[in-house]
Amino acid sequence: MAALRRPRGRQRLILLVLAALSPLAGIACGDNGGDGPAEVPTNASGIDYTRLRGKVRVDGSSTVYPISEAVAEEFSKVARGVKVNVAFSGTGGGFEKFCRGDIQVSAASRPIKASEKQACEENSITDIVELQVAIDALTVVVSPQNTWATCMTTDELNFAFRSGGAKKWSDIRPEWPDASIKVYYPGPDSGTFDYFREAILTGVDRESTHRTDGTPSEDDNVLALGIENDRHAIGYFGFAYFEEAGKHLKAVEVDGGHGCVEPAFDNALRGAYVPLSRPLFIYTRESLLRERPELLGFTQFYLDNIEALVKEVGYINMPGELLQQQHDRLKPFLPQ
Amino acid sequence: MAVRPGGSDFSLRATGSVARRQALSRASRYVLLGASLVGVVALITLLWDTAAAGASRVSWDFVTSYPSRRAADAGLRSSIIGSTWVMATTILLAIPIAVGTALWIEEFAPKGRFLTIVQLNLANLAGVPSIIYGILGLAVFVRYFQLGPSILAGSLTLALMIIPMTVIASTEAIRQVPPSIRDGSLALGATHWQTVWHHVLPGAMPGIMTGTILAISRAAGETAALIMIGAFTFIAYDNTSLMEDFTTVPIQIYNWTIRPQEAFRENAAAAILLLIAAVFSLNLIAVIVRERFRRY
């Protein structure tokens, strides 16, 4: 409420209301785009984006949403005739709509389940195409002065982060220090928080909930700083941030049942860093790729621009080889 | 005899139960003033807070830009256009039905059990939470009639939502038209319909307009029902037909407030200011219409 003490606020407000009224009258019918269409010529894949017309509906995982949103935003600038809209109703919700034929692209933070495939088949949707678009991973970190926590099992992580869980490090393992544990975590609005809760809390013990007596922050820098300066702290954030700015912290290896695995790029890529890394996908259909050039255009644009956009929204890019495999899946549908 | 407390030398000093009643009377003025100030203070505080957060983001670019993953580039263009389409369609669908219903209830319906049932239903429907209309819209318009999360489906849903309120406001307005007008018209040989069309309806119009515009303001700010039918989407194009997917300004505001980055909250505040301005101007039109065309 600091705003209340600001001087001359009333005059500002009145001016603002008046100023706000004027544009609303004229906007509705205007068709003059403020930003001119970006000049993108026919690209390497042989698609002339400017000629495409039609609609593409994307739905599904909220984790993939930021990537799809970024792709749709850029795609809309070059393919002005294609009306793309991106929604999120969860991976399961996306497949439900996809199998009903309501949407053309379904985004998922896990591979499609057998039961979902069957639901699709019941509506004679059998030509599903899976394209991986990125990798999502989290890193658990402690202070560099922390000499004891080098590898933790998922059960131990669950105990450290659940409400009513460990109060002291020695509660986790008796040989660890008899000092209270300080927890740092991303704010509950973030996808990182959601993912951690799924993987380490409900994923390990359905009954467990995330503790709320720590220090939440939406800013990864705040988390990193807090953990660095506190010998007894533990926290987590997106792997991409760790790679870029968190290297001075100590990353904890995670034992998901198959021994300790270091949160390294390679481990995330080969699927060994479980449960804290997962592939992200989009799904579509062969018949749609054949019949609807605008969908093919969107999907091709997705893969062509994935590297820059995935980095921007904070996920991990697939290695070139894996990305090439995705391109190869689309190739048969491209104009020769 | 009125005793004026604290008046001239002649005033008698009240004692006992009289003094208590007078104290209560004096206190009531301030208690009631306090009660009326709660709403005003709350509104001003909210406006002030929002203006402080979002005023710097309000600009022409903000109005004409599409939404974006970057807060500084994001704007309201597609949601303003979506809102405009939805509101226009909702008005076209809801108003004729609502006014027709109100005229039938007041001017034509035989008093009886059926009329009671209709009126009871309308009164109850006016109190149904909007999310229920959203669920209905999803099941009936989006799924059953296969309209998808389109402007038409959204407008039909909102129309259903505002019809009961509009009917109730319109029946009140029609009831205000003096019976002598009807009697005079009928006595001069006009038919029942001519009386309604040429005399009752014009007389009731200011009241109907006021009720209608208030209902439209409610629909303009509606979020829950539209999210339910699937209008929570990223859209970076201009709507050109009723069958297209859409988003609206309140949904765009919601979208921005749930993002972690602070800069999107500023966008949300700026959008709230514009939405308040729009709703405020609608209400202003309602007042002007009522004052200008008032007859009875």
Of A70, A85, A313, the CB nearest to B235: A85
Nearest CA in chain A to B55: A16
Residue A336: count of CB within 10 angstroms of its CB: 5
Is the Cβ pair B47, A1 closer than 8 Å?
A: no
pLDDT-based confidence at B27, cuts 50/70/90?
very high
Closest among B224, B242, B233 to B156, alpha carbons compared: B242
- Two structure tokens written together for A264: 């390294």
List residues bridging with A235 in a β-sheet. Answer: A141, A184
pLDDT at B224 > cutoff 50: yes
Is the Cβ pair B58, A190 closer than 8 Å?
A: no
pLDDT-based confidence at A61, cuts 50/70/90?
confident
Residue B135 lies in a domain: yes
**Quick one: average pLDDT of B54-80?**
93
Closest among B29, B70, B46, B83 to B238, alpha carbons compared: B83
Nearest CA in chain A to B86: A28
Helix H or strand E segment including B69:
none
Is the Cβ pair B48, A3 closer than 8 Å?
A: yes
Query: What is the radius of gyration, based on Cα positions, of chain A?
Result: 24
Q: Are B164 and B122 in contact (CB under 8 A)?
A: yes
Nearest CA in chain A to B49: A3
Residue A278 confidence (pLDDT):
85
> Where is average pLDDT lowest: A66-75, A313-322, B32-41?
A313-322
pLDDT-based confidence at A232, cuts 50/70/90?
very high
Nearest CA in chain B to A192: B260
3-state secondary structure of B182: helix
Burial B5-17 (b: 16+ CB within 10 A, else e): eeeeeeeeeeeee
Is the Cβ pair B274, A13 closer than 8 Å?
A: no
Percent of chain A with pLDDT over 70: 86
Residue B115 confidence (pLDDT):
93
CA separation for the pair A166, A154 (Å, rounded): 14
pLDDT digits (tens, 9 = 90+) for A217-230: 877 888 888 999 99
* Neighboring chain B residues of A30 at a CB cutoff of 8 Å: 64
What DSSP designation does B66 have?
P
CB pairs under 8 A between A and B: 116
3-state helix, strand, coil in chain B (%, to 5): 75, 0, 25
Q: Which residues contact A33 (CB under 8 A, 6 or more apart)?
A: B64
Residue B256 lies in a domain: yes
Residue B8 confidence (pLDDT):
55
pLDDT digits (tens, 9 = 90+) for A157-172: 999 999 999 999 999 9
* Neighboring chain A residues of B280 at a CB cutoff of 8 Å: 17, 21
Which sign does the torsion angle of CA A43, A46, A47, A50 carry? positive
Q: What is the CATH number of the domain that holds B165?
A: 1.10.3720.10
Residue A313 confidence (pLDDT):
82
The alpha-carbon gap from B135 to the nearest alpha carbon of chain A, in Å, equals 15
Q: Are B256 and B268 in contact (CB under 8 A)?
A: yes
CA separation for the pair B136, B160 (Å, rounded): 10
Q: What is the ipTM of this complex?
A: 0.79
pLDDT digits (tens, 9 = 90+) for A244-262: 777 789 999 999 888 899 9
Residue B82 lies in a domain: yes
> Where is average pLDDT lowest: A39-43, B105-109, B167-171, B213-217?
A39-43
CA angle B183, B188, B190 (to 5 degrees): 85
Higher pLDDT, residue A247 or B161: B161
Closest among B249, B239, B257, B258 to B278, alpha carbons compared: B249
**Quick one: average pLDDT of B170-189?**
93
> What does A238-277 look like in DSSP terms, one character per residue?
EHHHHHHH-TTSEEPEEESSSSEE---HHHHHTT-STTTE
Residue B152 lies in a domain: yes
Residue B231 lies in a domain: yes
Closest among A59, A120, A57, A63 to A89, alpha carbons compared: A59
Nearest CA in chain A to B238: A31
- Two structure tokens written together for B272: 């709230």
Of B60, B232, B235, the CB nearest to A23: B60
pLDDT at A23 > cutoff 60: no
pLDDT-based confidence at B288, cuts 50/70/90?
confident
Residue B85 lies in a domain: yes
Residue A43 confidence (pLDDT):
61
Q: Are B167 and B98 in contact (CB under 8 A)?
A: yes
* Neighboring chain A residues of B277 at a CB cutoff of 8 Å: 17, 20-21, 24
Percent of chain B with pLDDT over 70: 95
Residue B2 lies in a domain: no
Domain regions of chain A by residue span: 49-136+279-333, 137-277
Cα A296 to its chain centre, rounded Å, is 23
Is the Cβ pair B45, A4 closer than 8 Å?
A: yes
pLDDT digits (tens, 9 = 90+) for A257-308: 888 999 887 888 777 888 898 889 999 999 999 999 999 999 999 999 999 9
CA separation for the pair B172, B103 (Å, rounded): 11
* Neighboring chain B residues of A53 at a CB cutoff of 8 Å: none
pLDDT at A89 > cutoff 90: no
pLDDT at B55 > cutoff 60: yes
> Where is average pLDDT lowest: B13-22, B137-146, B270-279?
B13-22
CA separation for the pair A53, A292 (Å, rounded): 9
* Neighboring chain B residues of A96 at a CB cutoff of 8 Å: none
pLDDT digits (tens, 9 = 90+) for A122-155: 999 999 999 999 998 899 999 999 999 999 999 9
Q: At what angle do helices B16-54 and A9-27 cross, to 10 degrees?
A: 60
3-state secondary structure of B296: coil
Is the Cβ pair A31, B238 closer than 8 Å?
A: yes
What DSSP designation does A197 have?
I
pLDDT digits (tens, 9 = 90+) for A161-207: 999 999 999 999 999 999 999 999 988 767 788 889 989 999 889 99
* Neighboring chain B residues of A312 at a CB cutoff of 8 Å: 69
Residue B211, domain extent: 61-293
CATH topology of domain A137-277: D-Maltodextrin-Binding Protein; domain 2 (3.40.190)
| Count of alpha carbons within 13 angstroms of residue A134, beta-carbon side | 30
pLDDT at B1 > cutoff 60: no
Number of structural domains in chain B: 1
> What does A29-90 look like in DSSP terms, one character per residue?
T----SSPPP-----TTS--GGG--EEEEEEE-TTTHHHHHHHHHHHHHH-TTEEEEEE--H
What DSSP designation does A174 have?
T
Which pTM value belongs to this model?
0.77
Helix H or strand E segment including A104:
none
Is the Cβ pair B80, A85 closer than 8 Å?
A: no
pLDDT at A21 > cutoff 60: no
CA separation for the pair B122, B125 (Å, rounded): 5
Nearest CA in chain B to A309: B69
Residue B278 lies in a domain: yes
Residue A202: count of CB within 10 angstroms of its CB: 15
The alpha-carbon gap from A25 to the nearest alpha carbon of chain B, in Å, equals 9
A137-277 and A49-136+279-333 share a CATH fold: yes
pLDDT-based confidence at A22, cuts 50/70/90?
very low
Q: Distance from first CA to last CA of chain B, Å, rounded?
A: 38
Q: What average pLDDT is seen over chain A?
A: 83
- Two structure tokens written together for B170: 């319109």
* Neighboring chain B residues of A80 at a CB cutoff of 8 Å: 237
CA separation for the pair A91, A101 (Å, rounded): 15
Residue B185 confidence (pLDDT):
93
What DSSP designation does A201 have?
I
Of B52, B69, B276, the CB nearest to A70: B69
Residue B75 confidence (pLDDT):
94
Question: Which residue type does A110 have?
Answer: R
Nearest CA in chain A to B41: A4
**Quick one: average pLDDT of A22-27?**
38
CATH topology of domain A49-136+279-333: D-Maltodextrin-Binding Protein; domain 2 (3.40.190)
